[in-house]
Amino acid sequence: MKAYIGTFLKLLLASFVFSVALLFILAFFLFKFHLTDNVVTVCIILIYVISNFLSGFLAGKTMGRRKYLWGLGLGIAYFTVLCIVSFAVKQNFGELGQDFFMSMILCLCSGMLGGMVS
C-alpha cells in the first residue's frame, strides 16, 4: 500500500511539473505573439487535459490493475490541488460558475481516459 501512495504522489508531481512546463511555453507564446484571452483560455484547458491524460496513462502502466480508477484518482487529486492553489491566491470561491465545473469534469475524465487507454 505504501508503494502505491508513493507512486501516486510521484505521478501527481510529474503531472504538475509537466503542466508548469507547458504553462511556461504558453507564457512565451503569449509574450511573443500577443495571444487573445480566448486562445489563452483554450490553451490552459488543453494543458489540464494533456497533463491529466498523461498522468492517468502513466498510472495505468505503472499500477497494472484498475487503471481507470488510478487515472480518475489522479484527476481528482490534480483538480483538488488546483482548487487549493486557486483559493490561496483568490481567498474566496465567489466565482465558481461554469468554468469550475467544466474544469473538474475535464480533469477527471481525461485522467480516467488516460488510465483506460494504457
Predicted TM-score (pTM) of the model is 0.90
Give 40-87 pLDDT, tens digit per residue: 989 999 999 999 999 999 999 998 888 999 999 999 999 999 888 888
What local confidence, expressed as pLDDT, does residue 94 receive? 63
Q: Which residue range(s) make up the domain with 40? A: 2-117
Contact 91, 29 (CB under 8 A): no
Per-residue pLDDT tens digits for 15-46? 999 999 999 999 999 999 999 999 998 999 99
Give the integer Cα–Cα distance in Å for 34 and 106.
26
Q: Is 18 exposed, middle or buried (0-12, 13-18, 19+ CB in 10 A)?
A: middle
Question: Into how many domains does the chain fold?
Answer: 1
Contact by Cβ (8 Å): 18, 51: yes
